[in-house]
A = this chain, B = another copy of it.
Amino acid sequence: MRASSPPSRREPHNPAAADDGDEFRFCTTCAFSQACLSQGYAKPDLTAFQALIDHVGPFKPGEYIFREGDAFNAIAAVRGGTVKTFITDVAGNEQVLGFHLPGEVIGLNAIHPERYPCNAIALDTVTLCRFSFHQLSLLAARVPNLQQQLFKLLSLDIGKASLLVGDHSADERLAAFMVLLSQRYAARGFSATRFTLTMARADIANYLRLAPETVSRILKRFRSERVIEVRQRDVQLLDPGRLEALARPVLRMI
Contact = CB atoms under 8 A, between A and B. Distances in A.
B137 A249 contact: no
Contact of A109 (B95, B148, B155, B164): B155
Contacts of A161: 158, 161-162, 165
User: Which of A108, A109, A113, A138 has the most chain B CB atoms closer than 10 A to its own CB?
Assistant: A109
Interface in A48-95: 87, 89-91, 95
A152 B90 contact: no
Given A109-B155, A112-B159, 20 more contacts: A87-B252, A89-B249, A90-B254, A108-B158, A109-B159, A111-B155, A112-B151, A112-B152, A112-B153, A112-B155, A117-B159, A141-B141, A141-B147, A150-B151, A154-B154, A154-B155, A154-B158, A158-B161, A161-B162, A166-B209
26 contacts: A87-B252, A89-B166, A90-B249, A91-B249, A109-B159, A110-B155, A111-B152, A111-B155, A112-B151, A112-B152, A112-B153, A112-B156, A112-B159, A117-B159, A137-B147, A140-B147, A154-B154, A154-B155, A154-B158, A158-B158, A158-B161, A161-B161, A164-B165, A165-B165, A166-B209, A167-B209
Interface of A: 87, 89-91, 95, 97, 108-113, 117, 137-138, 140-142, 144, 147-148, 150-159, 161-162, 164-167, 209, 248-249, 252, 254
